[in-house]
């Protein structure tokens, strides 16, 4: 199996890569990581190909040749809305994954594209909904509608809640330091409170990485379950926790 990963230097992408590397030899033959910066966790692993790629809206044929035959992609690229202007946030959140999904649809006859969204995503935001909620929802609907034009695609959306890295403190050593929004800086304080008051809203990184890998390594068929949305294609945080046995 050949898989593609983006966002490998972020928290969710690092959790996915960590799980991929924990699997028995032979389950994943090849991992292609598209990135703008080095990926420390990938160093020393011969079956990982780190591809430096600067423009995630463009996938030239030379790049697609390197990815040909890939079975699926976990798309974990994201940025806090407070760190960029609105136009750039839409480009990163919507335009980049849609462009990638279209391009990757040529790589195999049944290509799984797993988009990491947010449990707050909604196309009907209320008064207290975060600003990014409708933009995430727009990305979801855009990706999930692609099979009508690109029939080889098997898209999924996973909506994590509060991403909790406390079970995997070593992940921090693989994530490059960069400017952080105030809310993220408060996580060491808010995290324990959130985990205590609303444990069902957390997405522990070991389980999050596991379920994202299972989605991209599966058969691409719609998922059954009362807590699965989007006609079997959207996995919310509660469903993710159930699937992980939490």
Average pLDDT, the chain: 92
Q: Are 116 and 79 in contact (CB under 8 A)?
A: no
Identify the pLDDT of residue 107: 97
pLDDT class of 110 with cuts at 50, 70, 90? very high
Per-residue DSSP letters for 174-215? GSPP----HHHHTHHHHHHHHHHH-GGGEEEHHHHHHHHHHH
- The pair phi, psi for residue 33, each rounded to 5°, is -110, 120
Task: Kindly state the helix (H) or strand (E) to which residue 135 belongs, with its residue range.
Answer: helix 133-144
How much of the chain exceeds pLDDT 70, in percent? 90
Residue 6 predicted with pLDDT over 70: yes
Separation between Cα atoms, residue 1 and residue 110, nearest integer Å: 13
Residue 228 predicted with pLDDT over 70: yes
Identify the pLDDT of residue 196: 67
Separation between Cα atoms, residue 246 and residue 55, nearest integer Å: 38
Q: Are 230 and 86 in contact (CB under 8 A)?
A: no
pLDDT class of 173 with cuts at 50, 70, 90? confident
Residues linked to residue 30 through DSSP beta bridges, in sequence order? 2
Identify the pLDDT of residue 115: 98
pLDDT class of 125 with cuts at 50, 70, 90? confident
Q: Are 78 and 178 in contact (CB under 8 A)?
A: no
Summarised one tens digit per residue, pLDDT across range 17-72 is 999 999 998 899 999 999 999 999 999 999 999 999 999 999 999 999 999 999 99
**Which of these CATH numbers, 3.90.1530.10, 3.40.50.720, 2.40.70.10, 1.10.3720.10, describes 2-243?**
3.40.50.720
In this structure, is the dihedral angle defined by the CA atoms of residues 164, 43, 180 and 124, taken in order, positive or negative?
negative
pLDDT class of 128 with cuts at 50, 70, 90? low
| Range of lowest pLDDT (35-39, 60-64, 121-125, 189-193) | 189-193
Higher pLDDT, 190 or 149: 149
Residue 210 predicted with pLDDT over 60: yes
Residue 120 predicted with pLDDT over 60: yes
**Nearest-CA neighbor of 76 among 28, 148, 23, 19?**
19
Q: Whole-model pTM?
A: 0.92
């Amino acid at each position: 199996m050949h898989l593609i990963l983006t966002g490998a230097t972020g928290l969710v992408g690092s959790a996915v890569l960590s799980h991929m590397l924990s699997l028995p030899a032979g389950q994943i033959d090849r991992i292609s990581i598209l990135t703008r910066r080095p990926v420390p966790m990938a160093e020393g692993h011969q079956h990982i190909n780190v591809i430096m790629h600067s423009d995630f809206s463009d996938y030239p044929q030379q790049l697609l040749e390197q990815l040909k035959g890939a079975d699926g992609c976990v798309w974990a690229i994201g940025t806090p809305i407070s760190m960029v202007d609105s136009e750039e946030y839409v480009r990163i959140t919507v335009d980049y994954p849609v462009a990638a999904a279209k391009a990757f649809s040529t790589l195999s006859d049944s290509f799984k594209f797993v988009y990491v969204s947010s449990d707050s995503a909604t196309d009907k935001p209320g008064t207290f909904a975060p600003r990014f909620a409708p933009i995430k929802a727009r990305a979801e609907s855009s990706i999930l509608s692609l099979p009508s034009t690109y029939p080889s695609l098997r898209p999924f959306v996973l909506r994590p809640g509060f991403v909790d890295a406390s079970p995997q403190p070593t992940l921090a050593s693989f994530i490059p330091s960069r400017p952080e929004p105030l809310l993220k800086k408060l996580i060491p304080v808010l995290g324990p409170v959130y985990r205590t008051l609303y444990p069902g809203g957390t997405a522990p990184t070991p389980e999050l990485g596991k379920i994202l890998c299972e989605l991209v390594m599966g058969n691409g068929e719609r998922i059954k379950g009362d807590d699965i949305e989007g006609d079997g294609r959207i996995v919310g945080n509660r469903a993710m926790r159930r699937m992980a046995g939490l």
